Amino acid sequence: MTPQYWQRIKAVLNAVIDVPQKQQQALLEEICRNDPALRRDVEVFLNAGEPDLPERPLIDWFDFQDC
């Protein structure tokens, strides 16, 4: 990926990231209408979401009684 292409991805992400999901799709269609590859790449980032984190602190996963 070239730095220029990455800049295009970031520009589109910045334009759609805070838009409700239904509106995101319409906005992506408009912005990326001539570049389906750019749209796919942006959608990868949008669909990545937040990482799944454990519901309890990591420290609770370890048993320190044997230390």
More confident residue, 50 or 10: 10
Sign of the dihedral defined by the CA atoms of residues 8, 10, 15, 20, in that order: positive
- CA 14 to chain CA centroid, nearest Å: 11
Whether 7 has a pLDDT exceeding 80, the answer reads yes
Q: Are 5 and 17 in contact (CB under 8 A)?
A: no
User: What is the spatial distance between Cα 12 and Cα 55, in angstroms, rounded to a whole number?
Assistant: 32
Give pLDDT tens digits for 11-61: 999 999 889 888 999 999 999 999 999 999 999 988 886 555 556 565 555
pTM of the model: 0.67
